Amino acid sequence: MKRDLISIRDFTREEIEALFSLATDLKRRLKRGKSHPRLSGKTLALIFEKPSLRTRVSFEVAMTHLGGHAIYLAPQDIRLGARETVEDGARNLSRWVDGIVARTFEHAQVERLAQYTTVPVINGLTDLLHPCQVLCDLFTLHEKREKLKGLRVAFIGDGNNVCNSWLYGAAKMGIHFTVACPKGYEPHRDVFTKARAESEATYAVLEITHDAARAAREADVLYTDVWASMGHEEQRAKRMRDFKGFQVNQSLVNLAQKDVQVMHCLPAHRGEEITDEVMDGLHSIILDQAENRLHLQKAILVKLLGDES
């Protein structure tokens, strides 16, 4: 029976921890120059409605390392829901490929794709969720900190798709997660409600504040993202005004734990949501975080597309 990854909620905490172990092994093998063709002969379709650097390159390289092949389908190549129905595209792709990564605007597009394919579908990003990003972030913190339960993470900025997935991830792993955003930019209400319900089992703490300093105080991790995500470009001027005071700068870092780690899912707008001093500073683990998109996504591919899945 096929498995999809549409949301972090699709996996249990134990399955996420198993992904960490597999990613650690695959990363170690790569660093030692040992081949690991776990998906030899497999083909992955990449359906991208949005531009991408990290998601596209990491999935393509992942398939190459695993002995498979990736096919990139740009917006003009497929146009699901416009050139042909999502249902027809899904059924056709199912006859040719072993898995699909979809990066779309509407979350419903990925859900419908998963509904009508007979192969695994991985959510590479929608306007609502970005599960691969946050699973890789959690893996990075697992490497750096080992213990995730009880970790204090402050998300400073827009309650966007990354923030929404972080709520689910924090709830799964027992993390104290605080979102600091301007009024009107809170994470999706339904996501927050569902994450809060799940958090009771793991004793995670999920909070929303409109005070960046309050969120940063004593935090183990400071996390930020761009203030105007793809699709919000026309709101840029307003958002620059509204997010004043939510920049991750040295003053904010000084409020956190002495060994605080700074994360950003990238791309970054330097000088806006984060300063050069912090992004390139000693507390930054941003490049480690970006590298781990490759390793943890390999684990996802093996889990969903491998013969033992």
Q: Is 130 a catalytic residue?
A: yes
Helix (H, G, I), strand (E, B) or coil at 258: coil
Selecting among 65, 130, 142, 264, the annotated active-site residue is 130
Selecting among 112, 152, 293, 295, the annotated active-site residue is 293
Q: How far is CA 291 from CA 13, 54, 259, 288, in A?
A: 23, 9, 21, 5
Selecting among 54, 103, 152, 283, the annotated active-site residue is 103
Q: Is 265 a catalytic residue?
A: yes
Q: Is 293 a catalytic residue?
A: yes
Q: Is 3 a catalytic residue?
A: no
d(CA 55, CA 293): 8
* Beta strands across the sheet bearing 121-125: 69-73, 43-48, 99-103, 121-125
For residue 64, what are the contacts with CB-CB under 8 A and spacing of at least 6?
Answer: 70
The β-bridge partners of 263 are 223
For residue 287, give the nearest of 172, 173, 140, 120 by alpha carbon.
Answer: 140
CA quadruple 18, 20, 25, 26: dihedral, nearest 10? 110
Selecting among 133, 247, 261, 289, the annotated active-site residue is 133
d(CA 192, CA 229): 20
Determine which helix (DSSP H) or strand (DSSP E) holds 284, and give its type and residue range: none
Selecting among 152, 225, 247, 283, the annotated active-site residue is 225
**Helix 54-65 vs helix 286-305: angle between axes, to the nearest 10 degrees?**
50
Burial of 58 (C-beta count, 10 Å sphere; 0-12/13-18/19+): buried
Please state the separation of Cα 87 from the chain's center in Å.
26
Q: Is 79 a catalytic residue?
A: no
**Beta-carbon neighbour count of residue 65 at 10 Å?**
20
- Please check whether residue 223 is in contact with residue 160, taking contact to mean a CB–CB distance below 8 angstroms: no
- Residues carrying an active site annotation: 103, 130, 133, 225, 265, 293
